Chain A
Amino acid sequence: MTPRLILNPQQLDITIKRLCHELIEVHDTFRETVILGLQPRGIYMARRIHKELQQILGVDDIKLGELDVTFYRDDFRKKDLVPNTTSIDFIIEDKNVVLIDDVLFTGRTIRAGLDAMLAFGRPTDVELLVLIDRRFSRHVPIQAKYVGKRVDTVASERVIVNWKETEGEDKVWLLTQ
């Protein structure tokens, strides 16, 4: 296994900032928009984006939720799935939702996420933001509107996103087996 660095800490920081500005371009002050991070790993990305957005806009009331999709997955009985916490303490009815995950691969997690999200209401508009888009790997027709970095990978490769909060470093690695 030879890990290859895709994003170093500086690049990751720039990417997050750029994604935030792209979001602000569309969502302005985030009055009508909420952010949902997908469990388990998308929440760190969502928290980072949330923090950065609030800093740029100088506000402290952008809504951030964490959504677990375990019960909505289609690979039940194919894998042992242990649920994580969902914490959404606001209504998403008639809001714009930005779903955030770290890596977009087959698209199945996002598909389950769309289902899971509907249990909290009917949003006006849903967009997807991912840090890494693994191109040409999709199993379902799902694409991200905001993408940090696109990489071309094969199924045997893995993308590992490490965060300062959990792994002690802000780095994205590509592992080839």
Chain B
Amino acid sequence: MKKKLSVKHLLGIKSLTTEDIELILSTAEQFRDVINRPIKKVPSLRDITIANLFFENSTRTRISFELAEKRLSADTINFSAAQSSVKKGETLIDTVNNILAMKVDMVVMRHPNPGACVFLANHIDAKIVNAGDGAHEHPTQALLDAFSIQSRLGSVRGKKVVIVGDILHSRVALSNIFCLQKLGAEVMVCGPRTLMPRYIGDLGVKVEFDLRKALEWCDVANMLRIQLERQDIKYFPSLREYTMQYGLDMPLLKSIGKEIVIMHPGPINRGVEITSEVADSPQSIILDQVENGVAVRMAVLYLLAGRTDN
């Protein structure tokens, strides 16, 4: 078994090898055990300071990273663009370099611009973890999704996973496609034509426009949220129409004649892409995903911080 990651930063799933992903998932397995103990904390990163830089809103990812950091005993500082000097016109590199001047070892960053983390990694001397960059990648989400599938179904290899919804604006979709394919799963994307990137087929995924057909094919359905905040034009006539075509409800789920696993990266728009009944059903592993998120992020931070070449 490999002992260390091949990368210094976690910028995206695309730059990880299959062995890297397997190492992260097997380490996460041990951390899930740690966070279910009476004392949920280990001292591994006690000498590390981590800055969480969120230039974009986030609840789940941010809390999850913060908990992961605290459970590894790292010191953390939080930064959100809303209350910062970014508003006064400071550049990204200046902002980050100022924070690093205060002796910070790692940066967890979410940024609305794709590639912001890669840019930062090329210019500054700290380890970077991408917590979502625009519509590009969201690597930790993909890792925790793969981890959740593995926990529920025993393995990711050979499983059929459909990603439903706003593929065009979704960083979760892109990272999930890379991650699941590297682990040997078959991936399909399903959504309205207008929300389907033009050359998505080149990534080796199946494309389906009929939700029922997609559900009949798959073992796992990952339902994405419609990202209205990223949509500059109207991609479909109304949310109601979207729901009629691509919303998952109980009658549809029951009618496909087999039990599939339902996932959602959150936040859920109940009644739009998924009904409450489905989201809260035993087939749904949405809250498991959240629990696994902390374990997976602990594994990522632990493995990056523990690299011996620095």
Residues of A within 8 A of B (CB): 68, 70-72, 76-86, 115, 118-121
Contacts and interface: CB of A to CB of B under 8 A. Distances in A.
Of the listed residues A70, A76, A118, the one surrounded by the most CB atoms of chain B closer than 10 A to its CB is: A76
Given A81-B306, A83-B27, A72 B42 contact: yes
A-side binding surface: helix, strand, loop or mixed? loop
B254 interface: no
Contacts of A76: 44, 305-306
A86 B38 CA distance: 14
A82 B3 contact: yes
Interface stretch (B29-37, B113-121, B234-242, B270-278): B29-37
Interface in B37-70: 37-39, 41-44
B43 A77 contact: no
Given A71-B42, A78-B308, A119-B38, 7 more contacts: A72-B42, A80-B306, A82-B1, A84-B30, A120-B37, A120-B38, A121-B38
Contacts, number: 52
A146 to B, nearest CB: 28
A118 B43 CA distance: 12
Contacts of A68: 30
Contacts of B34: 71, 119
B307 interface: yes
A105 to B, nearest CB: 20
B4 interface: yes
A169 B4 CA distance: 31
A80 B304 CA distance: 11
Contact of B39 (A70, A85, A119): A119
Contacts of B310: 77
A26 B3 CA distance: 41
Contacts of A84: 30
Nearest to A86: B33
Contacts of B41: 119
A72 B43 contact: yes
A31 to B, nearest CB: 23
A122 to B, nearest CB: 11
A73 to B, nearest CB: 8
Given A71-B44, A86-B30, A115-B43, A77 B38 contact: no
A96 to B, nearest CB: 19
